[in-house]
Chains A and B, each alone.
Chain A
Amino acid sequence: MILPTSEQKEQWEEEGYLVFENAIQGEDLKRLQNAFDYWADDCKADWLDSVEAGDTVATFYDIPNPLEKDPIFIDIIDYPSYYGALMEFTDHDLILLGPQVRTVAPWPVSYTGWHPDVSQSNPLHIKVQIYVNDVERGGGEFGFVPGSHKPDAGPYTRPMRQESMPGHKTFPGKAGTAIMFNSCGWHVSMDNHSDGPRKSIILIYEKRTPGRIGPEQYASISGYCQTPERRKLFSLDG
């Protein structure tokens, strides 16, 4: 486990985010890209039917139940390059809420506006966004307002255009980049004006609270969760 440096800890406290370049690389990155592309292609027809039926969103799609589809999607949940920071920031009491293995289409407008995910009263809620392909500026890259996670920050209001958010920073990056952020902070997917989809995985974690995730949630992958640490992370023992 790679624990965060003092500089990383300070940045996390002050700005609410950390960037891990090359967090996933080499064979692991290839495995991830192959699994992502295979399952995104496999699931696309059903997704389109679901859009037509009005049952799901038209502007992006998530591979359903990814943890059951390929073990690489499980292996990235506690991947060494960022897992230590997650554990440190949650006092080694971390649970997974869920993964979003997401393909975002090029579209004139981003599928979402600036927002925080949770309020300050929520237990520490952390997301890690992993780019599966290279994400250029204007290609649906992640945006964040540094410092907006703090209780005394703001107030913030959602601007009409993503680029009009005061104080924001955007994060283009290479495939394998992981961006960790405090979900109390204001964040967004910038517009994707590129020719291709933005492929990324958003992992959602929280500091454990009793009963937040039941043992049945990830029971189907318990075979991949033999160590006590993983069983705790996936709430398999209640």
Chain B
Amino acid sequence: MPRIDAHLHVFTKASAEFPRETSDVWPAEREESVEKLLVEMEKHQIDQAVLVQMAGASIEQHRYLLQCLKEHSNRFLGIGLVPEGHPNPTDHMVELTDNTGIIGFRFSDFGGPRDIFAKMDVREFAAYPIWKCAAERDYVLWLYPNAINAHLLPYLIQEFPQVRVVLNHLAVCPGKGKFSWDEFGRPQIQVTGYNLTMHTTYRLARYENVNVHLSGQYAFSREEFPYKDLAGWHRGLLTAFGAKRLMWATDFPWILEEPGYGKLTTVIEELLPDLSEAELADIMGGNAKRILRFPDL
């Protein structure tokens, strides 16, 4: 069974060849290359990975991701981005998936009513064309819903039951204004002590096409590795979704300095110590291979 890191990011220096957005955390000269990733993967016996686009949603800003996928087509699959408010998202999605290794798209906003008590017409949601395109072309949707969007998800999932959905980062739905960066350059999401997602995204376990990746613990935990305060969240996800719909991931490169890539390859054993060998193997790669259709090595 392969070991697959189901969510991480690579980027290179910003240039005319590889344009990308910049920020204080990923300035133009910063590079977290695929070669650096491959060193970590080799060192810790990780076979394959999902590369998730960041720092820009335009076609041009996907160039580095596309190059990585082309050069390592048996090791990586890609998740792209769709520019917010794109007039024709279908064209964008089709162009980026044309035999490139990009298998789906990540987004957070579904463009439906903010109020769960409002009348819901899923065809009026701004994200409807993206879901429709995903359904027609068998794309994966890689979702990290904003808190105010979580209630919209089941309407879309019901409308498009054939779309493979992967909820990011423990199925947490970050609140507005709750995002920051810590001293190690890692995203931090302030969450409540009571796990609100039990009443939203966990409830989506009923839909067989919904999966969750177990990653980003560092962003939600109030403890250092192995983030034991999140053991209950992991057990809750295991109970709700079962061991066949969970995928381990590291969120490289944010974790390189603290706690380090190697430690994160053991985080599932630490937080779910009662898993059988087969269940652990599924979560560490078997599920990603099956659900995302990774090629045989």
State the A residues within 8 Å of B (CB): 48, 51-60, 105-113, 158, 160-161, 197
Nearest chain-B residue to A50 (Cβ)? B175
- If A52-B114, A107-B116, A112-B198 touch, whether A160 touches B206 (CB-CB below 8 Å) is yes
Q: A54-B173, A58-B199, A105-B116 are in contact. List 4 more A-B contacts (CB 8 A).
A: A52-B175, A107-B154, A109-B203, A112-B203
Task: Name the contact of B148 in the complex, choosing from A52, A105, A108 (C-beta under 8 A).
Answer: A52
Interface size on B, residues (CB 8 A): 31
Once bound together, how far apart are the Cα atoms of A109 and B177, in whole Å?
28
B158 interface residue per 8 A CB criterion? yes
Whether A58 contacts B192 by the Cβ 8 Å rule is: no
Of the candidates A54, A107, A109, A110, the one having the most CB atoms from chain B within 10 angstroms of its own CB is A54
Supply 20 A–B pairs (Cβ within 8 Å), ascending by A. A48-B148, A52-B114, A52-B176, A54-B175, A54-B176, A54-B192, A55-B175, A58-B116, A58-B147, A58-B151, A58-B173, A59-B151, A59-B200, A107-B151, A109-B154, A109-B203, A111-B199, A112-B203, A113-B240, A160-B205
Partner of A110, one of B147, B174, B177, B203: B203
A170 to B239, CA, bound (A): 24
CA of A221 to CA of B280 in the docked complex: distance in angstroms? 53
Q: Which A residues are in CB contact (< 8 Å) with B255?
A: none
Q: Which residues from chain B sit less than 8 Å from chain A, CB to CB?
A: 114-117, 146-148, 150-151, 154-155, 158, 173-178, 190-192, 196, 198-200, 203-206, 239-240
Q: Are B115 and A158 in touch, CB under 8 angstroms?
A: no
Q: Check A55 against B199 for contact (C-beta < 8 Å).
A: no
- A58 and B151 CA atoms in complex are apart in Å by 6
B154 partner, pick from A51, A57, A108, A161, beta carbons under 8 A: A108
- How far, in Å, is A106 (CB) from chain B's closest CB? 8
The contact of B196 among A57, A110, A197, by CB within 8 Å, is: A57
- What is the CB-to-nearest-CB distance from B83 to chain A, in angstroms, rounded to a whole number? 23
Among B115, B158, B177, B199, residue most surrounded by chain A Cβ atoms (within 10 Å): B199
Contact with B178, one of A54, A158, A197 (Cβ below 8 angstroms): A54
Q: A51 to chain B: which residues have CB within 8 Å?
A: 147-148
State how many angstroms separate the Cβ of B272 from the closest Cβ of chain A.
18
Contacts of B177 in A (CB 8 A): 53
The answer to whether B116 touches A54, judged by C-beta atoms less than 8 angstroms apart, is no
Instruction: Give every chain B residue within 8 A of A58 (Cβ-Cβ).
Output: 116, 147-148, 150-151, 173, 196, 199-200
How far, in Å, is B143 (CB) from chain A's closest CB? Answer: 15
Q: How far is the CA of A108 from the CA of B199 in the complex (A)?
A: 12
Which of B115, B116, B203: most chain A CB closer than 10 A?
Answer: B116
Residues of A within 8 A of B203 (CB): 59, 109-113
For B239, list chain A residues within 8 Å (CB). 158
A227 to B40, CA, bound (A): 70
Residue of A nearest to B239 (CB): A158
Residues of B within 8 A of A107 (CB): 116, 151, 154
Q: Out of B115, B176, B200, B206, which one reaches A53, CB within 8 Å?
A: B176
Residue of A nearest to B149 (CB): A58
Cα A56 to Cα B146 in complex, Å, equals 13
A108 touches B147 (CB 8 A): no
Which B residue sits closest to A53, measured CB to CB?
B175
How far, in Å, is B45 (CB) from chain A's closest CB? 35
**Min CB distance, B210 to chain A, in Å?**
11
Are A53 and B155 in touch, CB under 8 angstroms?
A: no
Nearest opposing residue in chain B for A52, CB measure = B148
Q: From known contacts A59-B151, A108-B155, A108-B158, infer whether A54 and B114 are also in contact, taking CB-CB under 8 Å.
A: no
CB distance from B15 to the nearest CB of A (A): 37
Contacting residues, chain B, for A108 (C-beta < 8 A): 154-155, 158
Q: Which 10 A-B pairs have the closest CB atoms?
A: A54-B175, A54-B147, A52-B148, A108-B154, A105-B116, A53-B175, A111-B199, A109-B203, A57-B199, A58-B151
Residues in chain B near residue A161, CB distance under 8 A: 206
> Given the complex, which residues of A lie within 8 Å of B176, measured CB to CB?
52-54
- A58–B202 alpha-carbon span in the complex (Å): 13
Contact A197 B117 (CB under 8 A): yes
CA A106 to CA B154, docked complex, whole Å:
12
Q: Contact check, B206 vs A109: say whether CB atoms are below 8 A apart.
A: yes
How far is the CB of A138 from the nearest CB of chain B, in Å?
Answer: 16
| A residues near B146, Cβ cutoff 8 Å | 52
Contact B116 A59 (CB under 8 A): yes
Instruction: Report how far A59 CA is from B158 CA in the complex, Å.
Output: 17
